[in-house]
């Protein structure tokens, strides 16, 4: 068995926070001759980086830690506030209007302007390029309703149909484009009635 007072004995590194100092310093506790190996705050009211540090031996740092009272000097109201499950959150208010780098786009819909605002139908669907082209063929805007589409289709068919033009087939290409646009929009999710969606 080794003698605990033998200066040549190897100190156990098992104690977290032990600091080997180049010059041995005596323990700061009055009358203690043991070397100081542990750093502790001078006061439990201030962090050591603010209020300063003291160096203690193992026995006295254990006593300091056992007697440490986080609430020392606080009023009952301050103690209750510190023990609240929400303590600290009043200082960490999060402002959703703050700009941040959202690389994954998770928060984009909620916190930034709608990137598809000019391509959204009344239903909220984002229109594809073929949807927009079909609306343009019918002479309609993005905000057109299904009723607007039917009305424009009927009007253009009457205008371009050969029967309405004395049998003249000069507008047959335009008529085909109108029929294709209407057929496309009838099956586009943005303009389908809820009962038609599968």
Query: Please, are residues 57 and 34 in contact by the beta-carbon 8 Å criterion?
Result: yes
How crowded is residue 164: how many other Cβ atoms within 10 Å of its Cβ?
Answer: 13
Note the CATH number of domain 119-192: 1.10.287.110
d(CA 106, CA 97): 15
Check residue 154 and give its pLDDT.
92
Measure CA 28 to chain center.
48
Write out pLDDT tens, residues 144-198.
888 999 999 999 988 888 887 787 888 888 989 999 999 998 888 888 766 555 5
Hey, where are the domains in the chain? 13-73, 119-192
Check residue 1 and give its pLDDT.
47
Check residue 114 and give its pLDDT.
63
Low pLDDT (below 70) residues in the chain:
1-17, 45, 86-116, 193-198
Check residue 110 and give its pLDDT.
56
How crowded is residue 132: how many other Cβ atoms within 10 Å of its Cβ?
Answer: 15
What are the angstrom distances between the C-alpha of 188 and each of 123, 132, 147, 196?
Answer: 11, 11, 14, 11
Beta bridge partners of 126: 120
**Start-to-end CA span in the chain (Å):** 83
Using alpha carbons, select from 21, 31, 27 the residue that is nearest to residue 58. Answer: 27
Three-state SS sequence of the chain: CCCCCCCCCCCCCCCCCCCCCCCCCECCCCCCCCECCEEEECCCCCCHHHHCEEEECHHHHHHHHHCCCCCCCCCHHHHHHHHCCCCCHHHCCCCCCCCCCCCCCCCHHHHCCCCCHHHECCCCCECCHHHHHHHHHCCCCCCCCHHHHHHHHHHHHHHHCHHHHCCCCCCHHHHHHHHHHHHHHHCCHHHCCHHHCC
Check residue 196 and give its pLDDT.
55
Check residue 163 and give its pLDDT.
82
């Amino acid at each position: 068995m080794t003698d605990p007072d033998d200066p040549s004995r190897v100190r156990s590194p098992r104690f977290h926070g032990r600091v080997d100092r180049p010059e041995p310093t005596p323990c700061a506790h009055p009358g203690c001759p043991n070397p100081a190996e542990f750093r502790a705050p001078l006061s439990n009211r201030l962090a050591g980086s603010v209020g300063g540090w003291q160096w203690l031996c193992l026995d006295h740092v254990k006593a300091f830690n056992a007697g440490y009272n986080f609430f020392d000097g606080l009023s009952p109201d301050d103690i209750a506030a510190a023990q609240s499950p929400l303590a600290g959150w009043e200082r960490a208010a999060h402002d959703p209007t703050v700009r941040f780098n959202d690389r994954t786009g998770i928060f984009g819909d909620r916190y930034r302007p709608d990137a598809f605002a000019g391509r959204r139908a009344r239903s909220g669907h984002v229109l594809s390029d073929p949807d927009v082209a079909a609306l343009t063929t019918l002479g309609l805007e993005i905000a057109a309703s299904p009723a607007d589409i039917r009305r424009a289709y009927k009007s253009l068919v009457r205008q371009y149909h050969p029967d309405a033009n004395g049998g003249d087939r000069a507008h047959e290409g335009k008529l085909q484009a109108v029929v294709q646009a209407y057929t496309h929009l009838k099956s586009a999710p943005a303009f389908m009635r809820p009962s038609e969606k599968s």
